[in-house]
Amino acid sequence: MAFQVGDDLSGLASYTLQVGGRFRLLRYEYKNSTLFTEPYDTVGPPLRGPATLRITDQAGNEKVLSFTL
């Protein structure tokens, strides 16, 4: 799973993905502003069910996206 994110002014400060209420590890590729999960990561919860992506920039602005996988 991948997300295209970005902030033209202050930059990204933090990001969190929760799937089914459990933390799921994301990686950030700054060159193309992409957050993504590792394809073979078996440690976190399966990518099924309700999910929440929370992104905060350096200025403290926060965006929360809720969706179902």
Number of domains composing the chain: 1
Task: Give the pTM.
Answer: 0.84
The confidence score (pLDDT) of residue 46 equals 81
The confidence score (pLDDT) of residue 11 equals 84
Cβ neighbours of 58 (radius 10 Å): 12
The confidence score (pLDDT) of residue 31 equals 87
Strand 12-19 and strand 50-57: the pairing is antiparallel
Q: Which domain holds residue 38?
A: 2-68
User: pLDDT digit of tens for each residue in the chain (69 aa)?
Assistant: 899 987 777 888 999 999 999 999 899 998 888 999 887 777 777 888 999 999 999 999 999 999 999
Task: Please spell the DSSP secondary structure of 23-62, one letter per residue.
Answer: EE--EEETTTTEEE--TT--SS--S-SEEEEEEEETTS-E
Partners of 52 in the β-ladder: 18, 66
